[in-house]
Amino acid sequence: ARRALRDAGRIERTRLERRLEKLIALHFNAKGQASTNSRAQPSRRASSFFDIDIKELRNLDAADLWKNMMQNQITPGSKADIRAQEQSITPWENDSDVSQCPLCSASFHPITNRKHHCRLCGRIVCSLPAKRGQRPVTCSLLFIADKKTGKIEEVGEGVDYGVRRRSSMGPQNKGKEKEALIEEEKFLQGVRICRECSSILKRQQHRQEAFHVPTYARLYEAFINLEKQIEDALPVFQELLLALNNDDQPTAEASAARKRLLEAFSQYDSLAKRIRTLPTPGPGSSQDRVQAAILTRASVFLQKHMFPLRTLPKPKKPISSPITEAETPVIDPDSNLAHVLQPLLEQEALLESFVEEAKAHRKFEDVQTLKSNLREIRSEIDKVLANADYEVHRQNG
């Protein structure tokens, strides 16, 4: 019995999900609306008087006769046509069979509490706001779907049982064309469903969110993976440094490890800056704060982990360098010296990666220019370190 109930629930849920897809296609699919509006008119007469059986004519009064004629003269794309298509998707409950809302027991009234049909199950419910003790939540809700992306969004009550699209334009988009502003204020018709059918809507929203991952979320995942790779590679690099035994020249393995780390740091920095420059709903929004926090995290990470790369003796470095690697002071990442060196070290790492890339593409003129810039950066770094060493000796002396 339990399995039968579970199967019945799954069948009912599947049926409601199909109805939801049809309703979205009916109301928010541009192609579907175009095809509905362009349906060919019937070749018979517009008046339905000639379609009425003579025998039925005797049993109809003037009001019923006029009603039948108007029902058969529905214009494609009109409200009456949309309603007829909605009823073909979901059978509606008869108005005369219901006198109060089945969810909150509020009595219906033609003016103060009108009847509304749920477009998924066909049941009649109210649209009254939430009220403590009677309606903890509303008995029905409206939703819209984006015609391009199909994204479903719940919206509040509006004029004439419709809704207005919530403004999503930030201050940075004020210069957009007037057409975008007109579209932003365009009046939309919401589709109503009851509270008990809202789980079907939320289920569909969850599926959409699972398939449509934001760009910054995908980049952040790559950012975290790269950070983990760097953290895993740093201990290996430190072991290679200890194995040098203060040799003048590094081993090929240590040089290759340093090169890989520099390239990883360059990619890490580029990813953080790319995430920060992605468009956001507006300054101060949650997404904007998240992207700013990611850039801050990257800066702290670079300051903390890029300094060990300076301890590896560079090949072909002149012996007469004013500051030897053995004399390089241990730098506190939180010191003023660290903040001065940080941008210089980042530039050095980027230039080294650019030099290797230019060599790989055989752009020898660019290689010479980049090497010249690299020498200037290294000279500036040596000056900063020399001044720091001088200050240390002066204070100790």
For 176-222, what is each residue's pLDDT tens digit?
545 544 444 444 578 999 999 999 999 988 888 777 777 888 899 99
**pLDDT at site 113:** 92
pLDDT tier at 158, thresholds 50, 70, 90:
low
Residue 34 or 201, more confident: 201
- Helix axis angle for 2-28 and 30-37, nearest 10°, is 70
**pLDDT at site 159:** 40
In a domain, 260, yes or no: yes
Three-state secondary-structure class, residue 73: coil
Q: How are beta strands 187-188 and 116-117 bridged, if at all?
A: unpaired
In a domain, 368, yes or no: yes
Residue 157 or 73, more confident: 157
Mean pLDDT score, 58-86: 69
347 closest CA partner among 301, 381, 386, 312: 381
Same domain membership, residue 149 and residue 19: yes
**pLDDT at site 258:** 77
Give the DSSP letter of residue 1.
Answer: -
Same domain membership, residue 253 and residue 141: no
Which CATH number does the domain housing residue 145 bear? 3.30.40.10
Res. 51: pLDDT tops 70: no
Q: How many helices (H) and strands (E) does the chain have?
A: 12, 7
Tokens of 226: 């790269």
**pLDDT at site 116:** 94
Residue 354 or 267, more confident: 267
Res. 163: pLDDT tops 50: no
Same domain membership, residue 376 and residue 302: yes
Mean pLDDT score, 210-237: 86
| Number of separate domains in the chain | 2
Res. 160: pLDDT tops 60: no
Q: Which DSSP string do the residues of 187-232 spell out, in sequence order?
A: EEPPEEEEGGGHHHHHHHHHHHHHH---HHHHHHHHHHHHHHHHHH
Res. 369: pLDDT tops 80: no
Integer Cα distance of 19 and 24 in angstroms:
9
Tokens of 141: 């809700």
Indicate the length of the chain as a whole number. 397
- The DSSP element (H or E) to which 155 belongs, if any, is strand 152-155
81 closest CA partner among 70, 91, 92: 70
Same domain membership, residue 299 and residue 235: yes
Same domain membership, residue 332 and residue 349: yes
Provide φ and ψ at 315, rounded to 5°. Answer: -65, 145
Residue 47 or 82, more confident: 82
**pLDDT at site 245:** 56
pLDDT tier at 252, thresholds 50, 70, 90:
confident
129 closest CA partner among 166, 101, 96: 101
Tokens of 311: 């301890």
In a domain, 76, yes or no: no
Mean pLDDT score, 232-238: 83
**pLDDT at site 280:** 84
Query: 61-65, 205-209, 238-242: which range is least confident on average?
Result: 61-65
Task: Identify whether the C-beta of residue 194 lies closer than 8 Å to the C-beta of residue 140.
Answer: yes
In a domain, 128, yes or no: yes
Same domain membership, residue 331 and residue 357: yes
Tokens of 247: 């040799």
Tokens of 116: 């509304």
Same domain membership, residue 240 and residue 191: no
Three-state secondary-structure class, residue 41: coil
Query: Per residue in 267-325, pLDDT tens?
Result: 898 899 999 998 887 888 888 888 989 988 988 888 788 766 655 555 544 444 444 44
Integer Cα distance of 66 and 370 in angstroms:
87
Integer Cα distance of 86 and 79 in angstroms:
10
Q: What percent of the chain has pLDDT over 90?
A: 21
Structural domain span for residue 207: 2-36+90-166+179-211
pLDDT tier at 251, thresholds 50, 70, 90:
low
Same domain membership, residue 274 and residue 187: no
Same domain membership, residue 340 and residue 313: yes
- Alpha carbon 295 to its chain's center: 18
Integer Cα distance of 129 and 137 in angstroms:
8
Same domain membership, residue 299 and residue 253: yes
Residue 10 or 384, more confident: 10
Query: 83-97, 112-126, 363-377: which range is least confident on average?
Result: 363-377
Under 8 Å CB-to-CB from 319, ≥6 apart: which residues? none
pTM of the predicted model, to two decimals?
A: 0.46
- Helix axis angle for 2-28 and 79-89, nearest 10°, is 160
Tokens of 179: 């057409």
Burial-class residue 300 by CB neighbours within 10 Å (0-12, 13-18, 19+): exposed
pLDDT tier at 89, thresholds 50, 70, 90:
very high
Query: 83-92, 93-102, 171-180: which range is least confident on average?
Result: 171-180
Burial-class residue 11 by CB neighbours within 10 Å (0-12, 13-18, 19+): exposed
In a domain, 68, yes or no: no
In a domain, 51, yes or no: no
Query: 145-154, 217-226, 245-254, 275-284: which range is least confident on average?
Result: 245-254
Residue that the structure tokens 């590896």 belong to: 312
In a domain, 194, yes or no: yes
Under 8 Å CB-to-CB from 362, ≥6 apart: which residues? none
Same domain membership, residue 330 and residue 272: yes
Query: Per residue in 100-144, pLDDT tens?
Result: 999 999 999 999 999 999 999 999 999 999 988 888 999 999 998
Same domain membership, residue 299 and residue 372: yes
Rounded to the nearest 5 degrees, what angle is found at the Cα of 195, between the Cα atoms of 116 and 141? 60
Three-state secondary-structure class, residue 3: helix
In a domain, 55, yes or no: no
